[in-house]
Amino acid sequence: MLFKIARTMLLGCLLLTMGSCAKGRAKPPCGDGVCEAGESWESCLEDCTPPCGDGISQGDEECDGTDLRGATCLSIGLGAGTLSCATISCYLDTSACGPCTDECASADPATCDGDTLVTCAQNNYTCWKWLRTDCTETTQVCDEGTGVARCSDTCTDACTADGTRCVESVKQTCVTGDNGCLGWSATEDCETSGRLCEAGDCVCPAGSCTPETSTCDGSVIQSCVAQANGCGVIEAGADCAVTGWLCDPGTGTCVPDCVSACTPEDSTGCDGTITRTCTMQPSGCLDWVAGEDCAPSGRSCTGGVCTCNHDCTELQGQCSGTVTQSCVADAYGCRHWVSGEDCAPSGRTCTSGTCLCSHQCTIGQLQCTGTTTQSCTTDAYGCRYWTSNEDCAATGRLCSAGACVCNSNCSEGQLQCVGNFTQTCTGNAFGCWAWVNDTDCAATGRLCSAGACVCNNQCTAGTLQCAGNTIQTCTTNAYGCTSWVSGTDCAATGQLCSGGTCVCNNQCTAGTFQCAGDTVQTCTVNAGGCYEWVSGTNCADTGRVCSGGACACSDTCSSGQAQCAGSLAQSCLQDAYGCWDWLEDTCAAPTEFCGTGACHGYTRTNFTGTYSQISAGTSLTTDSDDATFSITLPFTFYYWGQAYTTAHACSNGWLHFGTNPGTSEYSNGSSFPDSGDPANTLYPFWDDLDIDYWDCWSSAGLRWETQGTAPNRVVIVQWRDFCAYLCTTCRGNMQIRLYETSNVIEFLYNRSSWSGSYSASIGIEEDSRGLGLTVTGSISGVPGTDYRFTPY
């Protein structure tokens, strides 16, 4: 609107000016507040305003077109955005700028910056900004000595000389102003040097480091470099990993990736017998490097040098047992004992490293060693020793004073006895007399007496005697001596020897009998005419006993008896000798058991029956999984020889006899009996089955009924349209039939109403006694036949 008025006035003025000029009027005065003809904003800005819309911001215009005089949303205290110019009024259009970014709050107190009063006020855009007012323009001073900053005609000290404080990022110092009072004056804007103002001083921001220090970032050296403001900034340096080294965080330097094994460099030492030197390695660490091994030369390692281990002193000698040893230096100058001569083979002894003689005798000496003569002899080394010569014992002589001499112990012609040997005193070639053995009298049954063999008669020739059961006769030998000679053995004919003659020792009376254990014995005449017992029939061989000299029965049972001994079936039968005894038959487990003295079990028959679905009787369930239901049987049914009147049908395809088994086991076994299954059970098709009205078949059900009349009734238990676990489309139909009186069991399957393939077990068992009969441990799909189990 102002622009339109100004433009109208300017146009009118121009017209008036033109008219006035035409009539010769004078130029209107500038400064009267009226833009008249002949005036323009260029010639008289006091009276005329510049035109808005020429694209140039002039005079009081905030902007014109795109000329915003450098203003932005942020520079005028607003948030980020786009600042534009109103095309009619040439005022700034802030509608696209963000909301205010306040520099201060309305409650922030005013301060003095020299004689400039700094207060927090709202600008034209309602943003809180610091407003600076120069108090000197009104010939005043800025005074905050009273506690509140203000422009005042007089001043009061506002601070202590040289004190400092922070106002935002600006450091202020207490100085004497032009007004003569102490006041705060801006000394430095810390922000311009990238620092913060804290506690009246410019300080480095958090995260700054100490210049001229270093640390590590992994393997990279991080150096703190001083900036122009004195603050340190981390700069990445060398990567120690490039050289295979590590960065030491404590020093910020590259160090070897190892630990020195020794120090200092070139120092020496020993590793056992090996010399070693501390040497710098390519890795940058010191480590021992092995040198010479002192051991092969017999030396020791001392202080990193091979040193001698002297065993002896030069020119010294010693003995090692019988061997001489001398002290000799080797190639390294080390002295060791070296073995020389062994003194023992020469009969000498080693003394101080020298072989010396150990003289045994004096030349010309003689002596005896046992029965051998010895003389003193000198060997090749000049050593004197005893030499053995003659063994005197070989000629029956003795050794005395080194010579053989006679040891005569009898005189020529003498006789004597030594035991049963005769001896004669006889002279030898050396003139010595000695006893010599002649005759062994014992060899001819004689005795030695006074040096001659004489008889030792035992009896009178021709007489007889008994030696046990043997007859002996007194007989004269070739030397005229008598002795007993053994003849007939009476025992060989069953007789006794008595008074030198064989006589009978009758044991019994002819024709009589007796028992020897279970053997029959008969009194019989032997070859010698004597009566003795002779063994005959052994009754035990025919299962009898011997009694009164004859075989007799030992009956173990009576006619018609029968019993069980564990798995043995025993019945009492009469043998060929008329004796009653147990006849045994072994019942073959697990398919048979013994009962009333006979083996019982079941005969399995495969057959094709007629499957007739039942719908009467008692429904047990139409929707059950892993459930068991009780059935009271209308007659007593014998199963594996046991009587039952109660059964329990399970949805998983089995029928149990007796009390509730306490389980609905669905994990089928591979054979029967199975100790993990419920005992006393029929398994027509045992698996994890499901009678499921909702998810499988609406016709599903488990029921039973009784057909026929006593004593030929039949109990039928039927599983109709069952399915299998995880197979709701599978279908099966089967029945168990229990026959009264005969106790026959039948498994029937409706093969025309069966679908799906799922594994199951079929069989019967009575697990408490380990009995069972397996049809199959694993069948897939409908059985191809029906099964009948007939007890026997």
DSSP string, 267-293: -EEEETTEEEEEEE-TTS-EEEEEEEE
Quick one: average pLDDT of 368-375? 94
Mean pLDDT of 396-412: 87
Reading the block at residue 161, the tokens are 């000389």
The single-letter code of the amino acid at 389 is N
E strand or H helix that includes residue 121: strand 116-122
Residue 740 to residue 732: CA distance in whole angstroms:
27
For residue 717, CA distances in Å to 608, 672, 692, 733, 749 come to: 18, 21, 17, 11, 12
pLDDT at position 3 over 60:
no
Total-model pTM: 0.38
Q: What is d(CA 340, CA 334) in angstroms, rounded to the nearest whole number?
A: 18
Q: Are 418 and 425 in contact (CB under 8 A)?
A: no
**Which 3 state secondary structure label does DSSP give 8?**
helix
Please say if the pLDDT value at position 19 is more than 50.
no
CA–CA gap between residue 714 and residue 708 (Å, rounded)? 6
User: Given the DSSP bridges, would you call strands 701-707 and 714-724 parallel, antiparallel or unpaired?
Assistant: antiparallel
Confidence band, pLDDT 50/70/90 cuts, at residue 623: very high
Q: Give me the count of residues in the chain.
A: 792
Question: Phi and psi of 388, rounded to 5°?
Answer: -75, 140
Q: How far is CA 719 from CA 34, 672, 722, 746, 749, in A?
A: 120, 22, 7, 14, 10
Give the CA distances from residue 518 to residues 552, 556, 580, in Å, rounded to whole numbers and listed in that order.
10, 17, 18
Reading the block at residue 169, the tokens are: 């990022």
DSSP 3-state assignment of 223? strand
* Nearest partner of 537 among 512, 523, 518, 509, judged by Cα: 518
Nearest to 253, CA basis, from 282, 209, 284: 284
- The answer to whether 16 and 39 are in contact (CB under 8 A) is no
Q: For the chain, what is the radius of gyration of the CA atoms?
A: 73
The pLDDT of residue 9 is above 70: no
> At 681, is the pLDDT very low, low, confident or very high (cuts 50, 70, 90)?
very high
Tell me the mean pLDDT in the region 240-246: 85
The stretch 579-590 carries a mean pLDDT of: 91
Nearest to 680 by CA among 762, 768, 600: 768
Q: Is 299 helix (H, G, I), strand (E, B) or coil?
A: coil
CB burial of 167-189 (b: ≥16 within 10 Å; e: otherwise) equals beebbbbbeebebebbbbbeebe
pLDDT at 387: 93
Distance CA(132)–CA(110), nearest Å, equals 10
Residue carrying the six token digits 């009995």: 771
Q: Cβ distance 759 to 778 under 8 Å?
A: yes
Residue with the two structure tokens 């003995």: 319
Number of H helices, E strands in the chain: 1, 68
pLDDT digits (tens, 9 = 90+) for 87-112: 888 989 988 998 887 888 888 888 88
Does residue 26 contact residue 17 with C-beta atoms inside 8 Å? Answer: no
Q: What is the torsional sign of CA 28, 34, 35, 39?
A: positive
N-to-C CA span, the chain: 130
Tell me the C-alpha distance between 376 and 374, whole Å: 7
Task: Report which of 764, 775, 741, 771 is spatially closest to residue 600, judged by C-alpha positions.
Answer: 771
The residue to which tokens 């009298």 are assigned: 441
Nearest to residue 361, comparing CAs of 373, 374, 380?
Answer: 374
Residue 658 in 3-state DSSP?
coil
Q: Rounded mean pLDDT of the chain?
A: 88
CA atoms in the 13 A half-sphere facing the CB of 158 = 33
**Greater confidence, 580 or 114?**
580
Contact assessment for residue 508 and residue 532, using Cβ atoms and an 8 Å cutoff: yes
Residue type, 404: C
User: Average pLDDT in the 675-694 region?
Assistant: 90
28: pLDDT confidence band, cut at 50, 70 and 90? Answer: low
Q: Can you tell me the distance from the alpha carbon of 691 to that of 620, in angstroms, rounded to the nearest whole number?
A: 11
Nearest residue to 612 via CA among 683, 714, 539: 714
| Contact of 304 with 276, CB cutoff 8 Å | yes
Burial track 307-327 (b if 16+ CB lie within 10 A, e otherwise)? ebeebbeeeebbbeeebbbbb
Three-class SS string for 131-187? EEEEHHHHCCEEECCCCCCEEECCCCCCCCCCCEEEECCEEEEEEECCCCCEEEEEE
Q: How many CB atoms are closer than 10 A to CB 517?
A: 11
pLDDT digits (tens, 9 = 90+) for 440-476: 998 887 899 888 898 988 899 889 999 998 999 999 8
**Residue pLDDT, tens place only, 293-340:** 999 988 999 988 999 989 899 889 999 999 999 999 888 989 989 998
Q: Tell me what the mean pLDDT of segment 606-632 comes to.
A: 96
Q: Give the model's pLDDT for residue 27.
A: 57
What integer is the mean pLDDT of 627-631? 97
Q: Indicate the helix (H) or strand (E) that contains 69.
A: none
Using DSSP bridges, classify how beta strands 642-650 and 628-639 pair: parallel, antiparallel or unpaired. antiparallel
